[in-house]
Chains A and B, each alone.
Chain A
Amino acid sequence: MVWKDLLVERRSKETLNALAFFSLLLLFVFQFALGPDRERLAGVLPGLLWLGFVLAGLLGLGRTFVAERENDCWEGLLLAPGDKSAIYVGKLAGNLLLMLAVEAMLLVLFAVFFNLDLAGVLPALGLVVVLGTLGLAAVGTLFAAMTANLRARELLFPVLLLPVQVPVLLATVKATEAVLAGEPLGAVAHWLQLLAAADAVYVTAGLLTFDFVLEG
């Protein structure tokens, strides 16, 4: 499933191109809104960073099952014998890789646009980003499947996803704020524990319920 999704994306480049362009636009908007005031930037940077990640994630995750809508491939997935949670794991892994690629690009653009030196905090920031992205992708993949065959899926998907993401967003923004301020990882251990616990709950919920979601 991961191989198939990445191959389709590599050939169509639909999601990656759209997200790259969207990220660039987002940064231009942030740049105009904030101006050159470094103090103001330091206070809002963690929130902006995750706003960018979440908005790009919403666009990407919402397209998780677009390829399955062509030629009734969704029906094909349903009819494939075997454990349906494997499909969830494959889709989650594909989404995670795509989102991390976009986030890496966004981080580089943030550093360039706002003249930031992220080299010293990159390992700690990377850990926070991976944990936060896993939580977003785990629920996003499940909700994308739930809304894939609904007419109002573009509207329902973010409406369902964002409230569930509150613990993840709270923990990631707080942990990112501390990491960017140069605090050690030990200082944000409680946020990282919350993130890891939320990830475990979300992934487990996805594994246990995906079969029912797919069957409708």
Chain B
Amino acid sequence: MAADPLVSVSDLRKTFGTHRALDGVALDVAGGEAVALLGANGAGKTTLLKILATLLRPTRGRVMVAGHDAVREPEAVRRHLGLVAHGAHVYEDLTARENLAFWTALGGLRVPAADLAAALAAVELERHAGARVRTFSAGMKRRLSLARFVLARPSVLLLDEPFAGLDQRAKKWLEEYLQAFKAGGGAIVMATHSFGRELAVADRIAILAGGAIALEAPRGPLTTDDVQRLYALHAEDAP
């Protein structure tokens, strides 16, 4: 692992009232690396992603993203990350091109029309650039969401169930996109329930149970069956 991880979490705790959603979580993710967070519903995956994304403040612990403290410098952190969660952050009554122009302008980027078109082409939406998002499928919305990051070039991608609801073609495209993102030196943290393409992208897996990391292991030598066996041993919803 590189000396300076792009994402570094130590002794992280998050409580909601008396409920401890996360406790004692530590995780480092280097550039060019992807970590898959596995776990049952309520294990704390989404809470961890939201803390990394600066959408939630931790109760205790330290969260660093691209060298910036997520609590003290949330604006600096936001310049380095892209979040693709359940909502695609797109306006239904705008076209794909208009959505992209709006979000990049809001992020302080002045992007020429040719670059907007190139970003839409990169996510294979060039033929739908002038179509309203209301007519898009879930996969198209997710690709449009990712088009923003083609332009903004974040160094960290946070993904919540990235392959859920996508057809096979969209899954293949997303897998290739994430592999290219890693090859470009970016770090990926993705929360997932499934053992499909997420595992093909992941370099490490971290199984969350009861708000703590029950197991962290390199993905390299593990087959999907191995991961399922480990999951069965550690996760709370194991069959």
Contacts and interface: CB of A to CB of B under 8 A. Distances in A.
The size class of the interface chain B forms with chain A is 20 to 34
Interface in A81-120: 81-82, 87
A82 B107 contact: yes
Most chain A beta-carbon contacts within 10 A, residue among B81, B89, B102:
B89
A73 B94 contact: no
Interface residues of A, number: 21
A166 interface: no
Contacts of B102: 3-4
B150 to A, nearest CB: 16
Given A1-B106, A4-B94, A81-B107, A76 B55 contact: no
Interface of B: 53-55, 75, 78-79, 81, 83, 85-94, 98, 102-103, 106-108, 132, 141
A72 B98 contact: no
Contacts of A80: 78, 103, 106-107
Contact of A76 (B79, B89, B92): B89
Contact of A77 (B54, B88, B94, B106): B106
Q: 10 closest A-B pairs (Cβ-Cβ)?
A: A72-B87, A76-B89, A71-B87, A81-B78, A80-B106, A81-B79, A8-B93, A11-B93, A82-B108, A4-B102
A77 to B, nearest CB: 7
A6 to B, nearest CB: 11
Contacts of A39: none
19 contacts: A1-B106, A3-B102, A4-B91, A7-B94, A11-B93, A67-B93, A70-B87, A71-B90, A71-B91, A72-B89, A75-B87, A76-B87, A77-B106, A78-B55, A79-B89, A81-B75, A81-B78, A82-B106, A82-B107
